[in-house]
Amino acid sequence: MTFGDNTFEHPPARSLRPKLTTVLVARVLRHDVGAAMTTLFFEDGELRAPIVDDPVGAAVEVRIDASDVAIALSRPMDVSITNRLPGEIVAIERLAPPYVQVSFSLGATRLDALVTGESVERLALEIGLRAWVMIKAVAISGLEVSPARTPEPRPWPSDRTSSRGKP
């Protein structure tokens, strides 16, 4: 398309947003009925979510869509996002433009963020960089939390009674 002396190219066809999901196994730690929020404990920290129906102690699976994960280079303080976890970038994979998958290690947990290539460049993201992942609490609600099929922890020997009925 030409206007005067300027030539404009049509932008490339828009690609569909990739669907990347992290599944965490967590336990219901507590319910805050007044705030209508639940705290979930997983191997590398805690997550806050809108209140869930599962009782305290119940195992749940939490699905986190990578498009609901944001990245901050310094500890986020004055933001509305409740869930803020420190981690290290372990992989950066360019997908169909403009999307980039940035994978974090939170310790034992690997969590993916879906960002644009522009964000990767602007923040100078690279493997080995320590940063913060942020997940909106409202993004962890409804169908994203479901009962987990995990075994119950084994009791300590002092919690068991012998077959003779003696502690």
Q: Indicate the pLDDT class of residue 17, thresholds 50, 70 and 90.
A: confident
Q: What percent of the chain shows pLDDT beyond 90?
A: 71
Nearest to 59 by CA among 150, 137, 155, 154: 150
Reported as a pLDDT band with limits 50, 70 and 90, residue 1 is very low
Measured torsion, CA atoms of residues 112, 132, 51, 149, in degrees rounded to the nearest 10: 40
pLDDT tens column, 26-49: 999 999 999 999 999 999 999 999
What class is the 18-148 domain? mainly beta
**Domain extent listing, the chain:** 18-148
Instruction: Indicate the pTM of the whole model.
Output: 0.79
Query: Tell me: the pLDDT tens digits for 104-126?
Result: 999 999 999 999 999 999 999 99
In the prediction, which pLDDT does 98 show? 96
